[in-house]
Amino acid sequence: MKTTTLLLGAGALLLGVASASAQKVTYDEHILPLFKNQCLKCHGSDKPKADVDLSTYGALMKGGSSGLIVTGGDPDSSILYKVTTHAAEPTMPPKNKLADKELDLIKKWIAGGLLENSGSKAIVVNRPKIDMTLTGAAFAKPEGAPPMPGDLLLEPVLRTVRTSASTGLAASPWAPLVALGGQKQVLLYNTDTLQLAGVLPFPEGFPHDVKFSRNGKLLLASGGRGANKGLAALWDITTGQRILTAGDELDVPLAGDISSNQKWIALGGPDRLVKIYATANGEQLHKMKKHTDWVLAAEFNHDSTFLATGDRNGGVVVWDPEAGQEVQNFTGHRAAITALAWRTPDLLVSASEDGTVKTWSVKEGAQVKTAAAHNSAVSVRLTVDGLMVTAGRDKTISLWDKEGNKGKTFTITNDVPVRATLTHDGKRVIATDWTGRVYAWDAADGKELSGISLNPPTIAEQQQQVAQRITDLEAGHAKLNAALAEATATTIKAKADMEAAKDANAKRSLNLAAEVAAKKQDDAKAAIESADADLKLAKSSVDRLKLGAFYSQVWRAKEDFSAKKDEHKRLLAQVETANADIKQAESDIKAAKKLKTTTKEEKDKLAKRIKDLEKSITDNKKLASTSKSTAEKMTKPLQVEEKKVQALAADYQKMKAASVPVPPKSAKL
């Protein structure tokens, strides 16, 4: 009888505590015991498979070799839940799925915010839901004017003593715009004027690969810090707004692309894996394993039916991005794949360090063409019209027509090229080399242009340069006018001498002299016209840079205000969570006090439980009070700062409206 009473008492205690904590599933109380029974043999602290250690809360939260495995508040996007429900590979446990009640427990734990214990704060990730999906001919030219930068930073994020090489180079498919990956930033240049058009901050590190969306409105940068962090960032180039971040890699991705339908982002890098993320929420959809070495290139085709990736071992794989399955595996290159481009939705072009550029048919599953482009090809890009540009370690950049015939070649003397591209209209060639120098040529006559830099000067430095340019142009104007006057006088005299001459031979000789003089006069007039245009452009740059400097103030003010506003929201959310935890703890104490105990052990357990709950209430009350007080102190200053930011933005718009834009002038040769 006594034994029965003890068992009933203990059962009541356990039932009461379980009931009291039923609304909270925690790692310590519920998930760890489950893992001990089912998972820790393979995923314990001693050489865990895939680097996934489930034996401690901290280790679990770090994730494994492929990144984080749980997303607070979102079981369906958490790798742990996907593999345990056998909804994704590799299934865990491999053979027998966990019982439904165990899966439900894991789901509730993730949905509840990954609580470590009853006193923990919930971790809930609220990812913005963005539908960027395009329908119809996503590769076709968009209606209206092509997307160009609006109000963007003109002040470089980082200005260094010397620059570094850039593997990130891409031209807009429809606009006079080129993007270059620089140190902690992506630089946008107008390829008509070769002026800096905008700066997109990338504080996570170095953008190794940049790609425009097929409509030219979005820009993707894939990069980070080697052996530390990697991700992909997506911007709207018309506003400079960073609208999505995808991936949380342990190493830097070296290749990335966004599909033409804007549903997917693909990443590849040193882990030899190809990963596909959804643009709707940044979640990973597929992780494909096939490559035997670093993935160096990735490119979606025109209609998003295929994704091609290339590796350091010369392998080229074509995938079905919807299913995450291999479609074709092309072999034939004898060295690393350096770049990929699609000529049509079926025809893939690959460049390799073996010096060849090969064309493959996915439908036929075979190579259809090969060209010995360079002694070692490092880049290949195609325009929408089918023109192609390649670069090689032989220090040459080559143009190719739509039929694949080699045309004009440009030679660089500084160092080996890294990347090359053609502008949207095929009229200019842009390239980078390993010293960080950027080249630009006129594709028609091969003349070199200047203006683009991976390490652009600050606005203050640009203002000094423009002021000096205006001074030089104005000083040279008198000399140009004097040269014109002299050429005009010479022309008049030559014509008069010719008319006065009576001998036919003398007349012919003087006629020739008159033609030469007239040519000098025309050249002098053209020089003045060019100088006037340059002066007009330089003077317009004064207003443009002044506007850019003011916008930098607006941008910094907005960034500072946004950070403070986010902190204010975090504090208020902390108050709300703490009050909810207090309410729950009070309810748990009330339920616990109703429990009947019959042994000292039961009484001690119950007393400890109540004591822990009381401490939780005390801690949360202190946290709620401190957070509320701090948030209240921030409220009025935030309101004042918001008005200042709004006033600053309004002043910028007035200043912008008052400025008189000058039609862009093509860069001077």
pLDDT per position as a tens digit, 124-137: 654 545 566 665 54
Indicate the DSSP class of residue 28: I
For 661, the token pair is 């834009």
Does residue 508 have a pLDDT over 90? Answer: no
Mean pLDDT of all residues in the chain?
88
Q: What pLDDT, on a 0 to 100 scale, did the predictor assign at position 44?
A: 83
Q: How far apart are CA 186 and CA 152, in angstroms?
A: 12
Q: How far apart are CA 347 and CA 247, in angstroms?
A: 29
Contacts of 498 (CB under 8 A, 6+ apart): 507, 510, 511, 513, 514
* pLDDT band, very low/low/confident/very high, at 7 (cuts 50, 70, 90): very low
Can you list the positions of beta strands (E) in 174-249?
Answer: 177-182, 185-190, 196-201, 206-212, 218-225, 229-236, 241-249
The phi and psi torsions of 8 (rounded to 5 degrees) equal -65, -40
DSSP for 435-490 reads: TS-EEEEETTT--EE----SSPPPHHHHHHHHHHHHHHHHHHHHHHHHHHHHHHHH
Does residue 321 have a pLDDT over 80? Answer: yes
High-pLDDT (> 70) share of the chain, %: 92
Does residue 21 have a pLDDT over 70? Answer: no
Q: Break the chain down into helix, strand, coil percent, rounded to 5.
A: 40, 25, 35
* pLDDT band, very low/low/confident/very high, at 67 (cuts 50, 70, 90): low
Does residue 22 have a pLDDT over 60? Answer: no
Closest CA to 667 of 456, 440, 467: 440
When mean pLDDT is compared across 151-155, 427-431, 593-597, the lowest value belongs to 593-597
Evaluate whether 34 touches 110 at the Cβ level (below 8 Å): no
High-pLDDT (> 90) share of the chain, %: 59
Model-level pTM greater than 0.85?
no
Evaluate whether 274 touches 288 at the Cβ level (below 8 Å): yes
Can you list the positions of beta strands (E) in 487-573?
Answer: none
Q: What is the mean pLDDT of residues 91-99?
A: 86
Closest CA to 235 of 254, 252, 221: 221
Q: What is the mean pLDDT of residues 542-562?
A: 92
pLDDT, one tens digit per residue, over 227-240 is 889 999 999 999 99
CATH 2.130.10.10 applies to domain 169-383:
yes
Q: What pLDDT, on a 0 to 100 scale, did the predictor assign at position 325?
A: 94
* pLDDT band, very low/low/confident/very high, at 73 (cuts 50, 70, 90): confident
Question: What dihedral do alpha carbons 79, 85, 91, 95 form, nearest 10°?
Answer: 160
Q: What is the mean pLDDT of residues 210-225?
A: 96
Evaluate whether 494 touches 517 at the Cβ level (below 8 Å): yes
Q: How far apart are CA 238 and CA 573, in angstroms?
A: 33
Q: b vs e for 146-157, b when ≥16 Cβ sit within 10 Å of the residue's Cβ?
A: bbbbebbbbbbb
Q: What is the mean pLDDT of residues 601-613?
A: 93
pLDDT, one tens digit per residue, over 263-310 is 999 999 999 999 999 998 888 999 999 999 999 999 999 999 999 999
pLDDT, one tens digit per residue, over 342-391 is 999 999 999 999 999 999 999 999 999 999 999 887 899 999 889 999 99
What letter represents residue 387's amino acid? L
Residue 479: is it exposed, middle or buried by C-beta count within 10 angstroms (0-12/13-18/19+)? Answer: exposed
Q: What pLDDT, on a 0 to 100 scale, did the predictor assign at position 16?
A: 39
Q: What pLDDT, on a 0 to 100 scale, did the predictor assign at position 6?
A: 32
Q: What is the mean pLDDT of residues 441-458?
A: 94
> What's the per-residue H, E or C state across 129-182?
CCCCCCCCCCCCCCCCCCCCCCCCECCCCCCCCCCCCCCCEEECCCCCEEEEEE
Does residue 18 have a pLDDT over 60? Answer: no
Evaluate whether 300 touches 264 at the Cβ level (below 8 Å): yes
Q: What is the mean pLDDT of residues 166-179?
A: 96
Alpha carbon 267 to its chain's center: 11
Q: What pLDDT, on a 0 to 100 scale, did the predictor assign at position 138?
A: 58
Contacts of 300 (CB under 8 A, 6+ apart): 257, 258, 259, 260, 264, 266, 306, 307, 308, 321, 342
Closest CA to 300 of 178, 213, 410: 213
Evaluate whether 244 touches 203 at the Cβ level (below 8 Å): no
